[in-house]
Structures are given as structure tokens and as C-alpha cells.
Amino acid sequence: MDPKRESHEKIRELLALAAAGALGLEEDLLVARHRETCDECSAELERWGALTGGLRRLPTPQPRAAVVERARAQAEARLAEEIEHRWQRAVIIFLVLYSWILTVVTWPIFRLITAGLLTRFGPGFNHSWFLFAAFTILVWATGGVAAVLLGRHRQQGRRMA
């Protein structure tokens, strides 16, 4: 195929978009240059321009109030879910960090306080059971704090709705 004819066909494909103002700067300049030398494309662009001008003058249908309200309610519900999800994630992250920091900070204190007590139980006392019990209590307390914080936040969200 002739390169000039191929270029002409590509420009013709862009004429409707040019009339609608939907082309980028480069393509718009390409169409404008071609239009100067091609009467056929110039006439077609004018027809497309008349059509798009008529379409712009048509009234825009407006959605019913119920549709708008339903879409707004769905958007608000999704936003509330997103906010609650972020809150829960932040609380979980905080609780994990809190647990680690609490464990690291309290371990030396725990060892200092229990050093004298553990020596009274004698060599037969298994230290691991005592540590396991302390760690379990700490984990339960952290889980309780998480449950309380998440429950309060959820109740506040329900009161606002």
C-alpha cells in the first residue's frame, strides 16, 4: 500500500476524536496539517464537528434521586469499612509492638524480682514452667486489651451510623 494513502487512512480514523477534542497535542497537529492538504478529510472533519456539536447540545440525562442516594450510601459504607479496617490493622500492629516491648522491658525486671524467689524452690523446680505461665498471662492480657479496643471502636462506629 502507498505510504501516503496509509497515512491518509490513519488520519481518517482520528477525525471523530479530533472533532470531539479527544486527541493529544501531537495527533491534533497531525490532523490539522493533513486537513490543510486534503479536502476530503477537511469536509469529513466538518461533518464530525457538526455531529459532536449537536450531541453537546442534547440534554444530559440525570439519574433519579433514589439511584444517587443508593450510590452515596454504598460509598459511605465502603468508606466506613475501609476506616474500620485501617483502625483494626493499626490496633493489631500497636498490640504486637506493645507485646514485644513489654516482653523485652519486663524480662530483666521479672528476672530481678524472681531471682530470690526461685532459689527457695530448690534445684528441682523447673524454671520453664514458671516462665511459660508468665508469658501466657502476658499474652492473655494483650489479647484482652485488643478485644476491648476493637469492641469499643466497633460500638462507636455503630452509634454514629
Same domain, 69 and 48: no
Sequence-separated (6 or more) residues with CB below 8 Å from residue 28: 18
Residues 149 and 71 both lie in one domain: yes
pLDDT reported for residue 113: 67
Domain of residue 36, residue span: 3-57
* Overall number of domains in the chain: 2
Question: Domain check: are 52 and 17 in the same one?
Answer: yes
Same domain for 39 and 95, yes or no, is no
The phi, psi pair for 121, rounded to 5°, reads -80, -15
36 and 114 in a common domain: no
Position 147 scores a pLDDT of 72
Domain boundary among 20, 41, 57: 57
Given 57, 75, 90, the domain boundary residue is 57
Are 80 and 130 members of one domain? yes
Verify that 83 and 151 share a domain, yes or no.
yes
pLDDT in tens, the chain (161 residues): 556 666 778 888 888 888 888 888 898 888 888 888 888 888 888 898 888 888 888 888 888 999 999 999 999 999 998 998 898 888 878 877 777 777 677 766 666 666 656 555 555 555 656 676 777 787 778 777 877 777 777 666 666 65
**What pLDDT is stored for residue 70 in this prediction?**
95
Q: Give yes or no: residues 124 and 46 share one domain.
A: no
